Structure 1
Amino acid sequence: MAVWREIAAPTPGRQHHESLDFFAAQHAQLVSTTAFAFGITGTAVSLVANLIPGAVHLAAFPLVAAAHLVLGLAIVWLWRRRSPLAQVCVFGAGILTLLAITAGTPETGINFSIGASMGIVAGWGIGSLAVTLTATRGGVASLASAWVATLAVVLMLSLSIGLAGYRVIGLTSLICVLWLLCLVFGVWLVSSQARVSRRIVSIGRAHNLERRASETEASRLRSARLLHDTALATLTLLSHSGVGVDAATLRAQAASDRELLTRLRKGESPNPRASGQYTLTHTAELQLGGTLEAVKSRFNGTELAVTWHGSGQLGLEHSKLDAFINALVECVENVRRHAKVTEAHVTLSDDGVVVRGVVTDAGVGFDPSQIPGGHLGFRQSIVARIEEAGGSVRVFSAIGAGTTVVLEVPK
C-alpha cells in the first residue's frame, strides 16, 4: 500500500511540477514581502526622524512628507506588482525623497536627524531593491547601477549642503551597510529556493521509488494469491491422486484454471492500478446467482458436502463481490483440506449495510494465534482480500472444537 494517497495528481511527474510551481509562487511572494518590509520600514523611520523638531525647515516639511508618501506608494506598488517599472519608480521616488530632505535643511545647518534620514532612505528605501534583484544576472547588474547612482547622488547632495568630510564617510558607510543587509537577505532567499527545489525533487523521486516498490509487492502478492487459489489447489488434488474427488469435478476445476490463465494471458490480468484493484473475471457480466452457483458446483463431487443457508441476493459492487466470493471459496477450501470433516455450513446474509458470510465446520479446529505470518492461504487469500474491500474477518476456533469464520464487507 502507498504511504500517502495522491489527491489530485494524475501522474507523479505532474504532481512534482505542481509542487515546484506552487513553491515558486510562494517564494516570489516571500521575496516581495521581504522587500516591502525593508522599504516601508526605512521610509517610516526616515519620516519619523524628520518629525523631530528642528530636523528640517518647517516650511519645507510638507514637501518632505509628500516625498516620503510617494516613496511609500512606490514600495507598495512594487510589493503588489513585481515589475521593472515598479522598481524604477522606487528608485526615482527614493532620489526625490533625498532631494526633498536636503532641500529642507534648516538655517542652522545639517543635523543628525537629516543625516540619519538620508542614510535610511538611501540604504533601506532604495536599498530594498537588493532583495528583489539578486535572482538573475540582469537584476544584479541593475542593482549595481542603482547602488552606484544612489551613492553618487548622496555624495553630491552632501557636498551641496556643506557636510563635513568625515560625516560624508560615515553617511556613505551607513548606506553601504544597509544595502549589504538587504543584499544578504536577497541572496539567502534565492539560495533557499534552489535548496528547497532540490529537496522537492528528491522527495518526489523517493516517492516514485516507494510507489513502484509498493505496486510491485502488491502485484506479487496478488499473483501468488491467484496461483494459490487456482493452479496450486488443483495440483494439490493431483498430488493426492484425486482422493475424495471424482474425475469429472477434477476435470472441471482444471478447465476453470485453464480459462483463468487464458484470460490473464490475454490481458485480463491483476495489474495494480492507482486504486489497488484488479479484475479476475468479468463479474459485471455475471449475475450473482450464477456466481454462487459456480461456487457451489466447485464442491459438488468432492468428499465435502456444503450446506448453503440464507438468500443469494447480495448487493455488492463488482470489485467487492469478487473479493467476497473468492475469500468465501478459500474458506470452504480450507475446510475441505484441513478440517477432516465431510460437512460444512455456509450462511449468507445482507442486512442492507453489511454483507456477511459465515463458514462453519465441526472439524479438528486450530489456534488462530498460531497462523504463520506468511501463510498465503489465510493471510492473503482471505484476510487481505476482505480488508482491501473495506471489510473484516473474524475467526472462532480451538483445537478439537471446530472453526467458524465470519466475513463482513460493507456495502
Structure 2
Amino acid sequence: MKTKYFSTNITIVLLCGLVSMLAVQVHDSLKSSVQAQKIKVDGLNGFNVQEVRDSNNGIFQKQSGTTWVEKNENGRIPLQETGRDEWSVYLSKTNGAKVQLDLWKGEVIYNGNRLYDITSAGSKLCSTYPSGTASRGLQTLTFNYDGTKKNESDIYQFVVPNFTIDPSKKTIILVHGFTSSPTKAFGSATGGRLHNSLLTKFPNANIITVDWSSMSGTSQDSYNWVYNRMWFVGRTLSSVLQEDLCIKPENTEIIGYSLGAHIAGTTGYDYHKDTGNKIKQIIGLDAAGYLLSHLGSDVRLDTGDAKRVVGIHSSDATHFPATSEGLGWAKEYGDLDIYIYTKNVAEDGVGQLLGSGWGNWRNKHDYAVTLYQYLVDNKSYSYANKWTWNEADFTEKPFNLNSLDSLTGTVTVWEK
C-alpha cells in the first residue's frame, strides 16, 4: 500500500508537470499567434515586407537593393539582406551578427535568440506608423555632426527621435540659425517667446524644434564653414520627416530663422524630390543673405520649396533695394514677401527697411521672429500691398496671422 501510494503521487506529479508544460506551450503559441495577427495584414509576408518596428522602439527599414538600416537609441546601423522566405527576412550586420525578422512568430531574433517582439510591419515605409501614441508638447530633433567619421551618412545625421507625432494634426517645425540654438532663437517651452506662443495658439499641434547647434558655429569666423555645409542638415531632416516621423506634408509647416530658413528650403526641396509631394508652407524669418544669393535653389529657400513660401524681411546691410548682401536677404524669394517699414529716418530723410542702413545691420535681424510671434499672439498691423516708403500707401486693413495664408506678392507692414 505504501509503495502504491508513492507511485500514485509520482504519477500525479508527472501529469501536473506535463499539463503545466502544455499550458506554457499553448500560451506561447497563442502569444505568437496573436502577435503574428498584428502584422498579417494586406497580404504582408516575408517577401514584400520593407519596414518592421519592435518593442524597443527600434525600426528596421529597407533602403535600396539589399541594404537595410536599423534605427534605435544608438543611431543608425547598416545591415545587408541575405535572404527571405514566406515569413522572415534574414539580415547580417557588419560584425557578422545575424538578425531574423520573423513575422510568423512576431519576433526579432538575434543570433538565434528572441530579442524583441515585433509590434508592426509593413510593405512600404511609414505603413507601420503607430497611431494614437503622439507625444504632446514641445519636442526636439537633435542633429549630430561628427567630423571624426568618414562616411557622409555618419558625419551628418539626426539622433533617432524618441517621440512620435500625430500626423493628422498640424505639425510645426522650427529651425534656428547661425551660432544659435532653439532656446536662443525661439525661447524655451516654459518661459520663452515663440515656443510659448505656438503652444498656446495650437495646443493640439505637433511642435518640433530642430537643434543643429552641433554644427551651427560658435563664432562669426566659422560662418563660411557652416554655410558651406548647412544643406546637409536640410537633406537629412527631409529623410527624418519621411522615414521616422512620417509627416503628412499637407499638415506640415517649417519655420526657419536666418540660415535656418535656407535649411527649411533645402528640406522642402528634397522632400518634394523624394516623394513627389510638397510641404504645405515654409516661412523664412529674415533668411540669411550673406554669401547666399549666388547659390542654386536646391540649397537655399526659394519659391517652389513648398506649396507656399513666405518671407518676412527685417534687415539688410544697405538700403533696399541695394544689391549688396546683408545679414538678412532683402530680395524677394517667396509667394509672399513681407517687408517691415520703420519710421526711423535714414540720412536721406525717408523711412527704410527695419534694420537697414549702415551701422544698423545686425540688431534687427531677429525682429522677424518677434513680428511672427506677435502675429501668433493675435496682433495685427496696417500694411500696403507693395514695397513702399510712402506712409499714404498704408491702410488700416489688418495684417494678421491669417494674412500669411491669403496674400501674395509684396507687402509692407508698418512697425510702429
**Range class of TM-score, shorter chain:** under 0.3
Q: TM-score, normalized by length of structure 2?
A: 0.21
- Greater per-residue strand proportion: 2
- Greater per-residue helix proportion: 1
RCO higher in 1 or 2 (8 Å CA, sep ≥ 6)?
Answer: 1
Q: TM-score, normalized by length of structure 1?
A: 0.21
